[in-house]
Structure 1
Amino acid sequence: MRQITIEEAESVAGKRLDRRRKYATTDDGKPDDCTGHLLFSLGSWTETCTGCFESEDGYPIGAYAHDPKHGCYVGDGCPECGYTGKRRMVMWLPHIEPVEG
């Protein structure tokens, strides 16, 4: 993956894109082997820290606070998450335009 400019991303997409986002494409310029996509946008979300949150089958063991804004539980805090109980995840995701209608 390599990050590209908005002009390059619009050229790949063939239309105007959201300029607030970051875009990337494959290194070789061919569609990705796994997804078949050529254009990717940067996605980010917050999730519960796996280092300080104990669960069984996805359900918390003990009394953990729930963060309604991010929709996740807040762990007890550890060095892995900087003692916040949550982690910010960032990943290049296949760019899919929303359906209008």
Structure 2
Amino acid sequence: MAGSIVERVGTVVDDQIITHDDRPCTWERGDEIAGRRLDRRRVYAVIDGDVCELVMWSARCSGCSSDDPYEARGAGCRECGWTGRRRNAQFIPVRLCGNER
């Protein structure tokens, strides 16, 4: 799987909907900003002059799970597609990801 890198040039909030203006970026520019060669298999974004890596995880659905910390998944609802689990993703600055060499 090939990675990619984009540069976030703007963000618009309209009626509580967040829309990001992401544009393609070159690997060379990303390497220069990060100060090292980035892993070409991962997904990155340049946000506010900082290189961020896309981190994904799954968690129990907040719409159908109880407050029990030992519950691995919810009972299932329309929000999670009746699976009881949700996929989450977020860009985290590379310096916080622990992938520094």
TM-score by length of 2: 0.64
Decide which structure has greater strand share: 2
Give the 4+ runs in structure 1 shifted more than 6 A.
none
Structure 2 unmatched ranges of 5 or more: 1-7, 9-21
CA deviation string 1:41-90 (max 9, x = no partner): 101000010111011xx535xxx5xxxxxxxx111100110111000001
8 Å contact kept, 1:76–1:85: yes
Task: Specify the structure having the higher radius of gyration (Cα).
Answer: 1
Structure 1 unmatched ranges of 5 or more: 30-37, 65-72
What secondary structure, in the 3-state scheme, does the structure 1 residue paired with 2:29 have? helix
Same amino acid, percent of matched pairs: 38
1:11 equivalent to 2:32? Answer yes
Q: CA deviation at 1:99?
A: 5.4
CA deviation string 1:6-29 (max 9, x = no partner): 3321121122111111111125x4
Q: CA deviation at 1:39?
A: 1.1
Higher-RCO chain (CA-CA 8 Å, sequence separation at least 6): 1
TM-score by length of 1: 0.64
